Amino acid sequence: MNSVMDQTTEATPEQIRDKKLYQSMGLTDHEYGLIKDDVLHRLPNYTEVGLFSGMWSEHCSYKNSKPVLKKFFTKGKHVVKGPGEGAGIIDIGDNQGVVFKAESHNHPSAVEPFQGATTGVGGILRDIFSMGARPIASMDSLRFAEPKTDADKYFIQQIIAGISAYGNCIGIPTVGGDTAFDDAYAHNPLINVMSVGLMDLDKIEVGAAAGVGNSIIYVGHKTGRDGINGASFASFQFDSEHESQRSAVQVGDPFEEKLVMEGCLDVINNHSDALVGIQDMGAAGLVSSSAEMGSKAGGNGMALNLDLVPQREAGMSAFELMLSESQERMLLCVKAGQEDEVLNVFKDHGVNAVVIGHVTEGHNYKLLHHGKVVADVPVDSLASQAPVYHRESAVPEHLKNADSKQYQPQISNPTETLKEMLGQLTIASKESIYETYDTQVQTNTVVAPGSDAAVVRVRHHDKALAITTDVNGRYLYLNPRVGGTMAVAEAARNIVASGAVPLGITDCLNFGNPEKPDQFYELDQAVMGMSEACEKFEAPVISGNVSLNNEYDNVPIYPTPMVGMVGLIKGLEHITTQDFKQAGDLVYVVGKTEAGFNGSQIQKMQTGEIAGKLFDFDLDYEVKIQKLVTEAIQHLLLNSAHDISEGGLITAIAESTFGNQLGVDLASELSVADFFSESQSRFIVSVPQEKQAEFEQLVGNDAQKLGKVVDDNHLFVQANDGYFDLDVDKALGIWKGALPCRLK
C-alpha cells in the first residue's frame, strides 16, 4: 500500500497496469480487469484506481460477506429502518425511535491505540446523528491478549484512554460494554463500539443526493492526509510490518465533533425543508459518502470541484482529498436556492461548511481538480456494483477432530478454586476501565456499568432502554453456529435480567480471512446461528458491521461476532439489577444446570486451553426461561436477577453479593464442579419472602430454591460433595483488584 501512496508523482494508467500498482491499493487482478474492461472500457487513472480501491474494499462493499448477511433475520413489526442506512431504527412508541449501530476499529487501533479508539467512537456517533437522532449512550466491546509485557499494558491503557477521552469530551456517556482477555487476540485486538440515540420518527433523514441542480455541501474539519486508504487498510490482513501503516490511522477531535453534531441536528430539526440527504464521511472518506448518496438516490450523477474542499495541508492531490479519512466531517445534499440557509446554520455553530458540487443529469460521478477532470466514472459502479464473491466453505480441522467428551473439572478445594476464578481477567471486575468513563453525563443513566445491562431512561416518559454487548469467542471457536446462537441468547438474558424486552440487535462480525474455506465456514455458520436466535427472540438485526482479515501472520482470531442488543423497559419500576438487595430474600436458580465445561472459563483456567465439542442447546427452552423471568419482573416478584454465563453459577452468586456486600447461605444437590458449568438458559434471582408462593407458582419446576440472602457478609454454598466458604469482602477484593494489578 505505501509503495503507491508514497510516490510524489502519480503513476500513469499504463504504469498502474504494467507494474500492477493497483494490487498495493487492495485491488486484485480480476477486479482491476473488471474496472478496465467492463466498467470504464479504458485504463483507469491513478485517482480512479484509488476510488475503486476504497469503494470495492470489504469495509465498504461487503463483497465477501454480502451472501452471508442476506441470511440474517431483519424483519419485525417495530423495525422502521433496517440494514442499509447509517444506523437502524426501531419504534418504541410515542412517535419515538431508538437508533443504534456498532462499528469496529480493530486494525487502526492495533497500530495507533489511542487515536484508533477515539476515532472509532467518533465515527459511530456520526452514524447515529446522521439519521436525525441525538446520541444518548455508547458502549464498547473489547478483546485483548493477556497483558504480559509493559507494551501490552500500555496498549490496553491507551485504548481505554482513547474511548474515555472522546466520549467524555463530547458529552455522551459510555455506559458499559464487555471486555475479555485471550491470547487468540494477540497482535489483533478487537475494538468494537456501539452507540444508541433517540429521535422523533417524523425527523428521519437518509443518505441520498437527489434532484438535478441540488448542492453538495461539505461540513466539518478540513481535510488532511490522515487516514488515507483507511478503508482498504481495514480490509487487509495484518503482518509483522503493520507498524509502518500509521498513515492509515485517523486523528480525532471530539470538540469539533460536538459542534458538527449540534449543527447537523439543528439543520435536521429546524431546516428540514432545505435538506435532501445527509451522510457521515467515514470509511473511504469523501468518495464513500458522495458516491453512496448519489447511488442511493438513483437516476442522477454528481460533480464535485475538489478545489473547493477545505484543506488542512498544502498540495493535496485528488487521490488524497477523496480517500482521506480525516474525522468530524459530514456531507449534505441541499435544495438549490436554500444553500445560504444551511450554511448560516453551521456558521452560527462555528463549523466549516462550503458548497463543493451538485447533483447532475446522467449517471456519472465526475471530479474536477485544478480545472481538469481527474475522474469520470459511473456512480453505481463505485457504490453498488462491486463484485460479490461466493466463497468456499470447509469445516475446520479442529472441529473435525474435536473430542465429544465433556471436560471434567478437578476441584480439590472449592473455595480456592472460586478465588482463582474471580481473579481471571475475563471474569474480574472492569471497574478500573469504566471508572474512567463519564457514565452520568446527560443525567439519564439509571443503571451504570457493572450490572447485566446498562439502563438509560427516556426523558418525559415512563420507560427506559436497556443496552448490552456480548459474545464469547471461545464458544464460536468450538462450534460457530451454536456459539453464534449463544451470543444472541446471552445478550437477551442480560436485557431480560434488567427488566426489559429485547427489541433488536446490531453486530460487529469479527472474523478471519474469508478466502480461506475454514475461516469462511466460521462466518457463515455464526451468522446462521445468530439469525436463528434473533428470530426466536423476535429481535431482528437492524444494523451492523463486518471486520474480516483479523489475522496476524496468518493466525486468525477466534470468530467473534459481537452482539449489541437494546431492550425496552415499560415502567421504570421494572428496572432490575444483579445485586442482592436485602437479607432474608430467597435465592433461586431459574433454568436447568447441565454439563457445560467445553470452552468454559474453568477449562481454560485449569488446562490453559479450550477443547472439545460445544453441544447445541434448546432455544425453545431458552425462550421459555426468559419469558418466565420477564413475567416475574413485570409482576414485581424479584429484587434481583443476574444472567449465568462465564464462570458458571458460583461466579454469578458471588457477583450478586458484591453490590451491597450481603452474604448468602445456600445449599444444592449440584456437585462442586456443576457450580462452574456454563450451560445456557439460567438466571440467579432473589425473591422477597412475601412473594415466594406467587413466584413458585409462576416458575413451577423451572426454578430451584438454593437458600437465602444473609447480612453477615459471608458467602457459604453447600454442594453435594463439598462447599464454598468465603468472606464477601475477600472475594470482592480479589475480583476488583485483579485487573488493576495486572495493568500496573
Note the pLDDT tens digit of each residue in 109-125: 988 999 999 999 999 99
- Of 282 and 336, the structure prediction assigns the larger pLDDT to 336
Which one is catalytic: 105, 221, 574, 642? 105
Check the annotation: does 327 bind a ligand. Answer: yes
Check the annotation: does 325 bind a ligand. Answer: yes
Check the annotation: does 298 bind a ligand. Answer: no
Strand 134-144 and strand 174-181: the pairing is parallel
Q: What pLDDT does residue 669 have? A: 97
Tell me whether residue 345 is in a domain.
Answer: yes
CA distance 184 to 301: 46
Check the annotation: does 250 bind a ligand. Answer: yes
Tell me whether residue 247 is in a domain.
Answer: yes
Maximum C-alpha span of the chain: 84
Q: How many domains does the chain have?
A: 3
Tell me whether residue 714 is in a domain.
Answer: yes
Helix, strand, coil percent values for the chain (each to nearest 5):
40, 25, 35
Residue with cell 446522467: 362
Tell me whether residue 734 is in a domain.
Answer: yes
CA distance 602 to 647: 7
pLDDT digits (tens, 9 = 90+) for 580-639: 999 999 999 999 999 999 999 999 999 999 999 998 899 999 999 999 999 999 999 999
Residue with cell 492526509: 225
Q: What pLDDT does residue 3 have? A: 35
Tell me whether residue 99 is in a domain.
Answer: no
Supply the range of the domain harboring residue 297.
205-385
Q: Is the pLDDT of residue 257 over 90?
A: yes
CA distance 223 to 112: 20
Full DSSP string of 53-76: HHHTSHHHH-TTTHHHHTTS----
Tell me whether residue 687 is in a domain.
Answer: yes
Q: What pLDDT does residue 227 have? A: 78
Q: Indicate the average pLDDT of the chain.
A: 95
Check the annotation: does 290 bind a ligand. Answer: no
pTM score of the predicted model: 0.95
Tell me whether residue 399 is in a domain.
Answer: no
Check the annotation: does 545 bind a ligand. Answer: yes
Which one is catalytic: 59, 221, 358, 642? 59
Last residue of a domain, one of 339, 357, 385: 385
Nearest alpha-carbon partner for 656 in 597, 580, 727, 564: 580
Strands of the sheet containing 353-360, edge to edge, are 275-280, 329-334, 215-220, 353-360, 301-305, 364-369, 372-378
Residue 231 pLDDT level (bands cut at 50, 70, 90): low
Q: What pLDDT does residue 531 have? A: 99
Q: What pLDDT does residue 233 have? A: 52
Q: Is the pLDDT of residue 299 over 90?
A: no
Tell me whether residue 499 is in a domain.
Answer: no
Query: What is the average pLDDT across 212-225?
Result: 97
Check the annotation: does 245 bind a ligand. Answer: no
Q: Is the pLDDT of residue 435 over 50?
A: yes
Check the annotation: does 107 bind a ligand. Answer: yes
Q: What pLDDT does residue 5 have? A: 39
- Of 283 and 136, the structure prediction assigns the larger pLDDT to 136
Query: What is the average pLDDT across 138-146?
Result: 98
Active site residue 30: no
CATH number of the domain encompassing residue 625: 3.90.650.10
Give strand pairing partners of 641.
Answer: 685
Last residue of a domain, one of 385, 407, 440: 385
Last residue of a domain, one of 385, 413, 447: 385
Active site residue 105: yes
pLDDT digits (tens, 9 = 90+) for 510-561: 999 999 999 999 999 999 999 999 999 999 999 999 999 999 988 999 999 9
Check the annotation: does 385 bind a ligand. Answer: no
Q: Is the pLDDT of residue 457 over 70?
A: yes
Q: Is the pLDDT of residue 373 over 80?
A: yes
